[in-house]
Amino acid sequence: MGSVSHIAHETRHAKRRNAVSIEANGHTISLDIVDTPGLATKIDFHDFMEQGMSDSESKKRSKEATEGVIEAVKWLDDLDGVILVMDSTENPYTQVNVTVIGNMEARNLPLLIVANKVDLPDSDPAGIKDAFPQHPMVPVSALDGVGMDSFYEALAKQFG
C-alpha cells in the first residue's frame, strides 16, 4: 500500500485498508490489511544523508522511522495473522527477523512468510524456509508477479 522507494524506511507510518477481497481458484477471502513500516534494529540519520538529504531532514526522517518501528510493534496486539515479507537476497538470520517471528509466536499469531525478490540471481528462498521451517513460506517476485497464484493459495490456506 505504500510507495516503492530505494530509500530505506520510506514507509514511516502504518496504513490500513479494510475489506480487501482476494480471489483465487474460485475462492474469495476478505481481509483488513495493515501495512506497517519495516522493522529495524538500526536507524541512522547518516544513511538518509547519503541519499542527499540535509542534516535536519535526515534527523527528522530518522526520528519518524524510529517512531514507525514502535508503531509497527504496537500493531501486533491488534492483528489476527501476519504476512511477513522477507528479502530472499538477504540473510534470514537477522536479529530483526528472529525477534519479529518470536513476538508473533509468543502471541500465537498465524504467520505466512513471503520470500520476495526471487527474480534476482542471488535470491535464496530455501534459506528462509530452512531458517523458519515451522512456518509456511511462499516464494514470489512482487516486481514480476511470479508466484502470486501460490501466494493467494497459501494466504487462503493460512488465514481462510
Express each pLDDT in 19-60 by its tens digit. 888 777 777 778 777 777 666 656 788 888 888 889 999 898
DSSP string, 129-153: HHH-TTS-EEE-BTTTTBTHHHHHH
pLDDT at residue 128 above 70?
yes
3: pLDDT confidence band, cut at 50, 70 and 90?
Answer: low
Number of Cα atoms under 13 Å in the Cβ half of residue 21: 4
116: pLDDT confidence band, cut at 50, 70 and 90?
Answer: very high
Domains of the chain: 1-78 (no CATH), 79-160 (3.40.50.300)
Per residue in 48-100, pLDDT (tens digit) is 888 888 999 989 888 887 887 777 777 777 778 888 889 999 999 987 788 88
Residue 108 region, left (φ>0) first, then alpha (ψ -120 to 50), else beta? Answer: left
Is residue 67 within 8 A of residue 12, CB to CB? The reply is: yes
CA distance 52 to 66: 20
CA distance 123 to 144: 14
Number of Cα atoms under 13 Å in the Cβ half of residue 25: 10
- As given in the structure block, the three cell numbers for residue 85 are 515479507
- As given in the structure block, the three cell numbers for residue 96 are 530483526
- As given in the structure block, the three cell numbers for residue 159 are 488465514
Q: Is 25 helix (H, G, I), strand (E, B) or coil?
A: coil
